[in-house]
């Protein structure tokens, strides 16, 4: 089986780590009873974040974290969510009819993954393919940047390539599609000293080819088309205790009427501890200025969307609806200028 997160370590967490986790959760209680994607109380912390601090020290460790939390609903703490989990897992089941076709195994491995139960499940959410089809059908000029801290970029591009060839069982691309896929992996490095950002790719010399000015990075991304993988600087983020000021940079310019950047990420959190998966930066000329977390919240639904995994699974139109809303909100803002 082609691992969905190639290069990560899928080992169990150690007994020492598990003991520390159990100690921390001695007085653990669930707030609220139903799942939510926002911090329900100021002093609350998610199990994911608690374990992340204990387990993740390198990018490869994220696989260990995911492996443990993949069984969360089988633990006493996660048991109340077991029914919800199984309901959504069933929605991700690979269609039974398609399993009977003579599709080559290599294509199945690009589009699906095999669970512990031996069943196949969708690797990428069908809603993602639906978004690509919608953008293509409507003749949009667009680029989809796979912003990742991990190493799954190549697998994602392989899945999209299979989709474009019409190999997906439920999501079909429009006829005569032309979606460029950049085989080169781009990297965005962060530094304390100037230049704070460096965008480069694996095929060129880092020192000679790096783009360092925020405005130029923004313009470069705006000029791209198709599917491109950008690996963000996880080591920098992790070494700064997952602070928003060290996270994935999201540059925005409300005066730009030619390009609209929208980031979907399920790790966007405006918690009191200052941790967050994105760093919102306002472009002013060639410079960029970090805005506060309080100010950043005002741009939600315009330049970023806190992705709701359960809704994405249930609603194949999720990404399309949110892109439309972001565009409508930005239009209102720009018309007021």
DSSP code string of 234-293: HHHHHHTTTBGGGSEEEEE-TT-SS----EEETT----TT-B-SEEEEEEETTEEEEPPH
Residue 220 pLDDT exceeds 80: yes
Residue spans per domain, the chain = 15-91, 92-123, 124-335
pLDDT in tens, 224-264: 999 999 999 988 998 888 899 999 999 999 999 999 999 99
* Mean local confidence (pLDDT), 78-88: 91
The pLDDT score that the predictor gives to residue 183 is: 92
Region 182-189: mean pLDDT is 94
324-to-52, 248, 330 alpha-carbon distances in Å: 33, 23, 10
Helix (H, G, I), strand (E, B) or coil at 80: helix
% of the chain beyond a pLDDT of 90 = 59
pLDDT in tens, 86-118: 999 999 999 976 554 545 567 788 999 998 889
CA distance 266 to 37: 8
Global pTM value: 0.88
Residues 123, 108: Cα–Cα separation, whole Å: 10
Give mean pLDDT, residues 147-176.
Answer: 92
pLDDT of res. 307: 97
Residue 6 has pLDDT above 50, yes or no: no
Q: What is the pLDDT of residues 272-320, one digit of tens each?
A: 777 889 999 999 887 899 999 999 999 999 999 999 999 999 999 999 9
pLDDT tier for residue 128 given thresholds of 50, 70 and 90: very high
Band (43; pLDDT cuts 50, 70, 90): confident
pLDDT of residue 4: 38
């Amino acid at each position: 089986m082609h691992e969905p997160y190639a290069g990560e370590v899928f080992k169990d967490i150690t007994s020492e780590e598990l003991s520390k986790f159990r100690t921390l959760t001695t007085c653990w209680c669930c707030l609220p009873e139903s799942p939510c994607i926002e911090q329900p109380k100021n002093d609350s912390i998610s199990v994911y974040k608690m374990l992340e601090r204990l387990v993740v020290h390198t990018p490869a460790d994220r696989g260990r974290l995911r492996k443990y939390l993949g069984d969360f609903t089988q633990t006493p703490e996660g048991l109340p969510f077991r029914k919800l989990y199984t309901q959504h897992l069933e929605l991700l089941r690979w269609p039974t009819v398609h399993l009977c076709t003579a599709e080559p195994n290599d294509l199945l491995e690009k589009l699906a993954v095999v669970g512990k139960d031996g069943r196949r499940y969708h690797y990428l959410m069908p809603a993602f393919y639906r978004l690509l089809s919608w953008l293509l059908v409507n003749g949009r000029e667009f680029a989809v940047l796979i912003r990742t801290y991990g190493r799954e970029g190549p697998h994602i591009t392989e899945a999209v390539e299979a989709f474009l060839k019409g190999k997906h069982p439920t999501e079909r691309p429009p006829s005569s599609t032309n979606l460029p896929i950049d085989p080169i992996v781009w990297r965005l490095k962060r530094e304390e000293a100037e230049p704070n950002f460096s965008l480069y790719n694996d095929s060129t010399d880092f020192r000679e080819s790096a783009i360092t000015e925020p405005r130029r990075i923004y313009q470069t991304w705006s000029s791209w088309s198709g599917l491109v993988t950008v690996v963000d600087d996880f080591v920098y983020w992790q070494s700064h205790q997952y602070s928003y000021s060290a996270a994935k940079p999201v540059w925005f310019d409300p005066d730009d009427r030619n390009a609209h950047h929208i980031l979907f990420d399920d790790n966007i959190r405006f918690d009191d501890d200052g941790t967050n998966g994105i760093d919102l930066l306002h472009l002013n000329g060639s410079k960029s200025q970090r805005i506060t977390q309080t100010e950043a919240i005002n741009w939600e639904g315009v330049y970023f969307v806190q992705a709701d995994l359960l809704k994405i699974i249930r609603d194949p139109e999720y990404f399309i609806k949110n892109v439309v809303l972001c565009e409508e909100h930005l239009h209102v803002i720009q018309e007021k200028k």
